[in-house]
Amino acid sequence: MIPGTQESLEALAAEVGSMLLSTGQKLVTAESCTGGWVAQCLTAVAGSSDWFERGFVTYSNEAKCEMLGVERETLVAHGAVSEATAAAMAAGALRHSHADWALAITGVAGPGGGSPDKPVGTVCFGWAAADGRIEVETCRFSGSREAIRSQSVAHAMRGILQRADIIRA
């Protein structure tokens, strides 16, 4: 299977679903630059209603504040594309759902919108667990807008697999 294709992303989503189903847990997503692509991949898997709780597409700063409870001060101090915002998005998604795990994505997919500090391809991720753990990571992806978004979707799902697998062990 070719990495980054819709087929490979949906295969990864099926892996996420299988892991969540085996532990009786549910996932919520909070997406900005990916515009719901993670949720689309997850819901492409038959039976996903057993483990996918809901998804938030919070593209604007207002949506991040209104739907997820991200503090305006966080956005002013750190920007929408920051680990602080990704952490707040993940925590807010958990608070506004009945899920056990959350993943959040916020970034600059391009082709414009980058800055010297946050060039195109900068994507921040947050993963939160119901027990209060939150982990964040920033990646720099390259390629077209679609390639950056595809890499972000895959990275977010791989991240939840890595973190949730610790719970199973």
pLDDT tens, 54-112? Answer: 999 999 999 999 999 999 999 999 999 999 999 999 999 999 999 999 999 999 999 99
d(CA 122, CA 10): 23
Beta strands in 6-60 (DSSP E): 27-31, 52-57
| Both tokens assigned to 95 | 């608070």
Task: Output the CA torsion 141→26→92→38 (10° steps).
Answer: 30
- Cα 161 to chain center, whole Å? 12
| Yes or no: domain 6-168 corresponds to CATH 3.90.950.20 | yes
Helix (H, G, I), strand (E, B) or coil at 56: strand
| Both tokens assigned to 127 | 């993963």
pTM, full prediction: 0.96
Helix (H, G, I), strand (E, B) or coil at 108: coil
Per-residue pLDDT at 166 = 55
Q: Above 80 in pLDDT, residue 36?
A: yes
Parallel/antiparallel/unpaired status of strands 101-107 and 134-140: unpaired
Q: Where are the domains of the chain?
A: 6-168
